[in-house]
Structure 1
Amino acid sequence: MAPQDAVQGWDEDANAEAYEAFTRAHPMYEATSRDLAGRAQLSYADLVVDLCGGAGATARAILDLVPDRARVVSVDNAAAMQRAGRRTLTDARLTWVTAPAEHLAEHVPASGVDAVVCNSAIWKTDTAAVFAAVSRVLRPGGRFAFNIGGGFAGVRHPDEEAVRTGPSLNALIRHAAARIYGRISLSTAGESPFKLPLETVTEQLAATGLAVVDTEVIAQHSTMAEKKAWLSIPVFALPEGDLTHAQRMRILDAAYARTTPDSPTVTSWLVVVAQRPEATE
């Protein structure tokens, strides 16, 4: 099952607008979207699904790679996110569908999709149900490319330790929270009890007839400044608990003041590419 709180806040305009603005101002989601879209082999695609597409960062990457004739369907269950995306992403090839990822098969033709791409969101779904839906809609030979944050997958790229020169911003936030408000939250972004290791993913995919054809642990290089901007989005703000957003921003500012804005940070991702087997005679 998906985490109970996985989608809380995503259908609120404040979160959606802040998230969409972040995707345009910072390269993190553009880079991960382009990575996945490239692995999905879209050069000859006619129909591609952007699953859990949010405000359209991944749809942009897909639209850059598919032929002019192709159609892209962006599926997300948060109408606020799609409203934010529609204001800046207008392309006649793109259709927005407001629906849970688990209901994908109700909105696109069975065995008619060339590829499904899901960036930074598969952990928020009931993965067994989503994988089954993806299997139903993919054509034989169609690809499913998605990624899982290193904290959820239980993986870490070597670069993550190699570039570290001091405490992480998350650790500094916990210390600032204790200093300012007398509390420490052990719940931080990317450190979730809802683990999704490759073994579980592979088993769930196989149960639906999808085979893993490629995996890789990649490093997304960023800066403290970009990390701070990401943590300023209300839905990501730390620490969790009964604090207002203004209080969380006070904590974030105090923590960030102990860093160097351009100091490097690294986020690890497990990238998975699965495929529906080719039809046999």
Structure 2
Amino acid sequence: MAPHDAVHGWDEDTTAEAYDAFTREFPMYSATSRELARRAHLADSRLVLDLCGGAGATAKPILELAPATARVISLDNAAAMQRVGRRTLDDPRLTWVTAAAEDLDRHAPAADVDAVVCNSAIWKTDIPRVFTAVHTVLRPGGRFVFNIGGGFAGVRHDDEKSAHTGPSLNRLIHDVAARDYGYTPPPTRPAAPKLPLEAVSAHLSAAGLVLVDAEVIAQHGSVAEKRAWLSIPVFARPDGDFTHAQRMDILAKAYALTTPDAPTVTSWLTVVAQRPK
């Protein structure tokens, strides 16, 4: 079963506003978006598709790196996220399309897109359908660039391996929830990665796309950034029958047990694929 933030809650104003505020205050999404846009080789692009684009955190660096004459389509199925994006990112080159990722080929011309970029969201789509649709819209030689969280891909950057010096904020959240709310944390046995590179490669090949590069990237942040991220309703923990107010109470108590400026590291598997020329 996918985590509760995979589908539910994205098309809600409270989540959209909190998510947009987070992207403005903290660098996580802007940094990963810029990294993906850089790998998409946009210097000569004419049309770029920002897949699962949310409120525009990835569209912004795409617009900055693409030529002034390029057009960008930001496609997402959460209208609330796009309402925020339209208000905060006003650029005549950008078109907002409210649609499912699996239907992207209905909203972009076939074999005419220079690059498709997807930040932090490919894991919650129907991978075979999306990859096939990406192949349909990409021009020959066009790039498909996306990332997958380290936990889903089963990878850890060396920086993350050496960064852990105490219990994580997530672990403390579970401890506080158990102490104050009788919460029973899930088993801690390691789960098999849901989307390892081997599976990604197989899906790309089946869709007619070629794997060009794959690299594990470290994203550096702080416990304060992690707290802000977990304050977004769709990301709030723990799972289960809690109100948002209860989750925020648990988060505040857990955060009080941490050092706010302590460094954190998250790992991302960054993938570059291409439609053959």
Same fold (TM over 0.5): yes
Give the secondary structure class of the aligned counterpart of 2:58: helix
Q: What is the rounded CA distance, in whole Å, between the counterparts of 2:28 and 2:142 in structure 1?
A: 26
Report if aligned partners of 1:164, 1:264 keep a CA contact under 8 Å in 2: no
Query: In the alignment, which residue of structure 1 is the partner of 2:227?
Result: 228
Query: In the alignment, which residue of structure 2 is the partner of 1:249?
Result: 248
Alignment of 1:37 with 2:37, yes or no, is: yes
Query: In the alignment, which residue of structure 2 is the partner of 1:75?
Result: 75
1:166-245 correspondence runs (5 A): 166-186=166-186, 195-245=194-244
Equivalent AA in structure 2 for residue 93 of structure 1 = R
Query: In the alignment, which residue of structure 1 is the partner of 2:263?
Result: 264
Equivalent AA in structure 2 for residue 222 of structure 1 = G
Residues 220-266 of structure 1, C-alpha deviations (whole Å, 9 max, x = no match): 00000000000000000000111000100111011111110100000
Deviation of 1:3 (Å):
4.2
Structure 2 alignment gaps of length 5 or more:
none
Q: What is the rounded CA distance, in whole Å, between the counterparts of 2:171 and 2:214 in structure 1?
A: 30
Deviation of 1:185 (Å):
3.1
Query: In the alignment, which residue of structure 1 is the partner of 2:87?
Result: 87
Please, what TM-score do these two structures have when normalized by structure 2? 0.96
Query: In the alignment, which residue of structure 2 is the partner of 1:144?
Result: 144
Equivalent AA in structure 1 for residue 176 of structure 2 = A
Deviation of 1:158 (Å):
1.1
Equivalent AA in structure 2 for residue 172 of structure 1 = L
Q: What is the rounded CA distance, in whole Å, between the counterparts of 1:41 and 1:194 in structure 2?
A: 29
**How many residues of Structure 1 are paired with residues of Structure 2 in the alignment?**
275
Equivalent AA in structure 1 for residue 267 of structure 2 = S
Equivalent AA in structure 2 for residue 135 of structure 1 = H
Query: In the alignment, which residue of structure 1 is the partner of 2:155?
Result: 155
Percent of pairs with identical residues: 69
Q: What is the rounded CA distance, in whole Å, between the counterparts of 2:102 and 2:250 in structure 1?
A: 37
Give the secondary structure class of the aligned counterpart of 2:110: coil
Give the secondary structure class of the aligned counterpart of 1:57: coil
1:96-111 correspondence runs (5 A): 96-111=96-111
Query: In the alignment, which residue of structure 1 is the partner of 2:114?
Result: 114
Structure 1 alignment gaps of length 5 or more:
none
Deviation of 1:14 (Å):
0.7
Equivalent AA in structure 2 for residue 139 of structure 1 = R
Give the secondary structure class of the aligned counterpart of 1:248: helix
Deviation of 1:8 (Å):
0.6
Give the secondary structure class of the aligned counterpart of 2:129: helix
Give the secondary structure class of the aligned counterpart of 1:251: helix
Report if aligned partners of 2:154, 2:193 keep a CA contact under 8 Å in 1: no
Q: What is the rounded CA distance, in whole Å, between the counterparts of 1:75 and 1:157 in structure 2?
A: 30
Query: In the alignment, which residue of structure 1 is the partner of 2:46?
Result: 46
Alignment of 1:66 with 2:51, yes or no, is: no
Deviation of 1:192 (Å):
7.7
Q: Judging changes above 3 Å, is the alpha-carbon distance between structure 1 residues 4 and 129 closer, same or farther for their aligned structure 2 residues?
A: farther
Residues 187-213 of structure 1, C-alpha deviations (whole Å, 9 max, x = no match): 99xx98771110111000001110000
Report if aligned partners of 2:154, 2:192 keep a CA contact under 8 Å in 1: no
Equivalent AA in structure 1 for residue 257 of structure 2 = R
Q: What is the rounded CA distance, in whole Å, between the counterparts of 2:63 and 2:185 in structure 1?
A: 40
Report if aligned partners of 2:209, 2:273 keep a CA contact under 8 Å in 1: yes
Q: What is the rounded CA distance, in whole Å, between the counterparts of 1:264 and 1:137 in structure 2?
A: 40
Q: What is the rounded CA distance, in whole Å, between the counterparts of 1:198 and 1:108 in structure 2?
A: 27
Equivalent AA in structure 1 for residue 57 of structure 2 = A
Report if aligned partners of 1:185, 1:240 keep a CA contact under 8 Å in 2: no
Give the secondary structure class of the aligned counterpart of 2:172: helix
Q: What is the rounded CA distance, in whole Å, between the counterparts of 1:103 and 1:194 in structure 2?
A: 26
Residues 55-112 of structure 1, C-alpha deviations (whole Å, 9 max, x = no match): 0000001000000000000000000010011110000000000000000000000000
Q: What is the rounded CA distance, in whole Å, between the counterparts of 2:102 and 2:221 in structure 1?
A: 32
Give the secondary structure class of the aligned counterpart of 1:87: helix
Q: Judging changes above 3 Å, is the alpha-carbon distance between structure 1 residues 176 and 3 closer, same or farther for their aligned structure 2 residues?
A: closer
